[in-house]
Amino acid sequence: MATLTARLLAQLQAEGLLPPAQAAAIATDERTRPFSLHYELRAMLYLGITLLAGGAGVLVYQHLDSIGHGVIIAGISLLMSASFAYASRQRAPFSWGEVPRASIAADYLLVLSCLLFLVLEGYLQAQYGLFGQRYGLATVLPAGLFFYLAYRFDHRGVLSLAITTLAAWVGVSVAPLALFTGGFPSEALSGPGLLLGLALLAAGLAAELLRRKPHFAYTYLLLGGNVALLAALVRLFDAAGFDTGQPELLRALLVALLVLGICAGLVWYARRAQSYIFLLLAVGYGYVAFTSSLVLLAELVGIREEFLQLGMLYFTLSLLGLLLLLFNIKKILRLA
């Protein structure tokens, strides 16, 4: 590293682009600048709270009947209270805008106290049947609490925790990689999933447009867009079997149009926020929905065979179109 800097500085001096004194100042700065351990420490904090909450969650159940179990519960409660107290003490006054981060430690301890709250709540339900048969209440309650904390502490990590908990109440997973770990959601859950996704998308749009915590829009739109599009595709493929009647086909076409509408919204936000990830999300889902709606249309007017024969041509041409889009992605996002 040091040698590269020396080499670059020497070249710039030789080209007359940098006076020697300034080059020396840069060389000194590069040599004496303290080595930042910021991201390494953050990773350690994150790994620490994940291991701790995961371990505590198992520990609670393993020792349900043993003598030491009161100690474990007391320990977890104490840790939760202490973490929350520390986070509260560092809390900045409330604002609808983005609050500058006061303390990294407080950020992570707040997440830890939320995770430990879930552990304790699960324990109370398992041991004492706190919520009886009303299991829904056991997930809605923490979701509400986490939403409040996310806004009060201006914490996007707690916000995604709140959304995850809310989704668990509905019965779906909003985790971005859920498709790869849990497969497609079942058809029975696709309806609630779609509604939840649309609600989250609406919350994200409202946050952005009403300027109420606009930086929360990213989390809302990414998690909401993912779950809504996934659920809609499940409904689409379910309805678009080959031997279905016209009403089902029309309904599938409507779902495909809904997907395209959501994608258009995501493109709008991607251009507004200049974000690659939303554009790619919209292009990926939009491509699938557009192709499906073409097949559906062909099916409706009865030219499916002819359309499928043109498949290779469509594949090649659409791939080329995709390439064109990728080459112009900076222009689309107004970055260039």
Partner 1 sequence: MSFQAYPLACATDEALRAAAARWQRRGLLTPAQRAAIEAAHPGQYVRPGIWVRVALLAVTLLGLGAGLVLAVLLTAGRLPATVYGALLLLGTVAALEFAIKSSAHYRSGVDNALLYVAIATWGFLANEISESLVAGPHVLTLWLVLMLVVLLAALLRYADPLVAAASLGTALWLLATTLLYSAVGQLLLPFGLLAAAGALLWALGRLPAYAYYTYYRGAALVLRALGLAVLYLAGNYLMVREGNAALLGGGGVSGQVPLAALFYVFTAVMPLLYIGLGLRRADRLLLTVGLLALAFSLYTLRYYHSLLPPEVAATLGGLLLLAGALGALRYLRTPRHGLTSAADAEASPHFNLENVIIAQTAHVPAAPEVGFEFGGGHSGGGGAEGRF
Closer to partner 1 at the Cβ: 48 or 191? 48
Kindly state the number of chain residues that form the binding site for partner 1, as judged by CB under 8 A: 89
Interface positions, 276-335, toward partner 1 (CB under 8 A): 276, 280, 319, 322-323, 326-327, 329-330
> Which segment (87-95, 121-129, 194-202, 235-243) binds partner 1 by CB under 8 A?
121-129
Handedness of CA 319, 276, 36, 13 (dihedral sign): positive
Rounded distance between C-alpha atoms, residue 131 and residue 141, angstroms: 10
Rounded distance between C-alpha atoms, residue 286 and residue 74, angstroms: 51
Rounded distance between C-alpha atoms, residue 139 and residue 123, angstroms: 13
From the CB of 204, what's the least distance to partner 1, in Å? 13
What is each CA distance from 138 to 64, 148, 182, in whole angstroms? 20, 16, 23
Give the x-and-dash track for 126-165 against partner 1 (CB under 8 A): x--x-----xx-xx----------------xx-xxx-xxx
Query: Could you say whether residue 265 binds partner 1 (CB under 8 A)?
Result: no
Interface positions, 94-113, toward partner 1 (CB under 8 A): 104-105, 108, 111-112
Closer to partner 1 at the Cβ: 58 or 210? 58
Helix (H) or strand (E) holding 94: none
Closer to partner 1 at the Cβ: 152 or 330? 330
Closer to partner 1 at the Cβ: 165 or 293? 165
Interface positions, 17-76, toward partner 1 (CB under 8 A): 17-18, 22, 25-26, 29, 32, 34-42, 44-62
Rounded distance between C-alpha atoms, residue 179 and residue 190, angstroms: 13
Name the H helices within 215-310.
217-239, 246-273, 276-300, 304-309
Handedness of CA 303, 308, 313, 315 (dihedral sign): positive
Query: Could you say whether residue 195 binds partner 1 (CB under 8 A)?
Result: no
Interface positions, 228-257, toward partner 1 (CB under 8 A): none
Longest CA span, the chain: 80
Query: Could you say whether residue 259 binds partner 1 (CB under 8 A)?
Result: no
